Each structure stands twice: as structure tokens, then as C-alpha cells.
Amino acid sequence: MTDPAKKIQKIYTILKGNYPEAATFLVHRNPYELMIAVILSARTTDEQVNKVTVKLFAEYPDPPSLMKADIKDVERIVFPTGFYKTKARNIIGAAAGVVEKFGGNVPRSMDELLSLPGVGRKSANVIRGHCFNKPAVIVDTHFSRVAKRLGLTEAVDPGGIERDIVSLCPKAIQTEFSMLLNVHGREVCTARKPHCSSCPVSSVCSFFCNN
Ligand code: SF4
């Protein structure tokens, strides 16, 4: 298939049939909790983050309580996620930013989200897509790998990959498409050995067709 926009639509339709419930794996009840969870998710597993946030949100249920937290206590709680000193500093700083700059509410715009410590484009897109129903192409390691193998992008940096997919993918399905590629990367198109023989999108996959 040569038209990349049609190819994306076909991949979306097939993967949606295979993963009808694709959603973020980070457990959260509101934008504050997702913002903190996604900051903590850098270089660790979602499962580990979900264990930690149960304890964290029991003690610090909202931005005002977290911004006033003793950093040593926060470091102790987030320790299992790795990089705990930086993450503790960032989540306290992000909570303070939400209170001091945005009236206690997690902001919706990309620029406002990027002004918060620890929030990069991927995190901001996760929040915008899942909490505020904004179009969001969420570029993580799974998404990048699968998008490249499928032949949807040749970019090597996350910003370039995001731009390529944004230009091809209808806004209405960008967030869902992101999650579908993410779950497909976790379950079938795995990093070390993609399971191409059982892949439902192999007929339109550049990697499969060229090997
Ligand atoms: S055919 Fe193979 S490389 Fe292509 S998306 Fe499927 S699992 Fe990944």
C-alpha cells in the first residue's frame, strides 16, 4: 500500500479489532494522578509505577498536599521507580506549578504542560489525549519501534516521528492510534523478536514485506 494515510487507516481498523480496549496502562483517577504517574514512568515499567502511586496518592491525594511534602518522604515512596531523587523533585515541582500557575488544575495546552518540571512532549501528549480528549500522538519506545517497522516514518528522533504521524493520522484517532501501536509493540511487535507470523498487520508492514 503506497498511500501512507490510507495505510494508517487500515492499520488502525485492524488493530482496533484486535485490541478493542487499548488504553493507558497507568492507573489514575484524574489529571493530577496521570500527570504524576507519567512523570514517574520514565525508564521503568507501568506496573512498577502503579504499585508506587497507590502509596503516593494515599498520602498526597492532590497538588496542594504534594507541593508541601517532605522531599525525603517522597523519595522514599518513589524509590522503586528509579532516578528517585530527580523524580521526587519533579513531581513536587509539578504539583507546585499546577497550584501556583494554574489554580490547582492540570493545564490543557502543550506549552503550559511543558512548563511543568518533568513533563516532556510524550507526557504532555499522554495527559492531553487521555484526560482532555485532545489529539495526541504519544511517542514512546513501543510506538517508535512499531511505526518505523510499519514504514510510517523514517525519522529517528521522537519529535520527527510525532510530526510524521500527525501529518498522516486524522486528529480524531491520533490518541487511540498511539495506544494501539503501543499495545501492539508490547504484545506482538516486540523489541527483540517481532512475532510477524501471527501479526494481523503484516500485509502492510514494510519490515515484513522487505525481509
Ligand atoms: S509484521 Fe512484524 S515487524 Fe511488522 S508490525 Fe507485525 S510484528 Fe511488527
98 and 153 belong to one structural domain: no
Span 131-135, average pLDDT: 96
Q: Give me the domain span that covers residue 74.
A: 31-132
Span 103-116, average pLDDT: 98
Q: Indicate which residue's Cα is closest to atom 1 of ligand 1.
A: 202
pLDDT of residue 54: 98
pLDDT of residue 21: 82
35 and 15 belong to one structural domain: no
140 is catalytic: yes
70 is catalytic: no
150 and 189 belong to one structural domain: yes
Does residue 145 line the site of ligand 1, with CB under 6 A?
A: no
Q: Is the pLDDT of residue 2 over 90?
A: no
Cα of 35 to ligand 1 centre, how many Å?
Answer: 31
Per-residue CA distances from 200 to 28, 177, 196 (Å): 30, 15, 8
pLDDT of residue 24: 73
**Percent of the residues in the chain that have a pLDDT greater than 70, as a whole number:** 100
For the record, the C-alpha cell of 139 comes out as 511517542
17 and 39 belong to one structural domain: no
* End position of a domain, from candidates 100, 115, 132: 132
Where does the pLDDT of residue 39 fall: very low under 50, low under 70, confident under 90, or very high at 90 and above?
very high
44 and 108 belong to one structural domain: yes
Does residue 11 line the site of ligand 1, with CB under 6 A?
A: no
Active-site hit among 10, 16, 134, 140: 140
Q: Indicate which residue's Cα is closest to atom 4 of ligand 1.
A: 205
pLDDT of residue 23: 74
Does residue 188 line the site of ligand 1, with CB under 6 A?
A: yes
189 and 115 belong to one structural domain: no
38 and 128 belong to one structural domain: yes
Does residue 201 line the site of ligand 1, with CB under 6 A?
A: yes
pLDDT of residue 114: 98
Cα of 151 to ligand 1 centre, how many Å?
Answer: 10
121 and 192 belong to one structural domain: no
| pLDDT tens sequence across 136-184 | 999 999 999 999 999 999 999 999 999 999 999 999 999 999 999 999 9
Span 53-82, average pLDDT: 98
| Domain CATH number, residue 163 | 1.10.1670.10
17 and 46 belong to one structural domain: no
| Domain CATH number, residue 97 | 1.10.340.30
pLDDT of residue 3: 87
Cα of 181 to ligand 1 centre, how many Å?
Answer: 11
Q: Is the pLDDT of residue 1 over 70?
A: no
Where does the pLDDT of residue 22 fall: very low under 50, low under 70, confident under 90, or very high at 90 and above?
confident
Which residues, at least 6 apart from 196, have a Cβ–Cβ distance to it below 8 Å? 202, 205, 207, 208
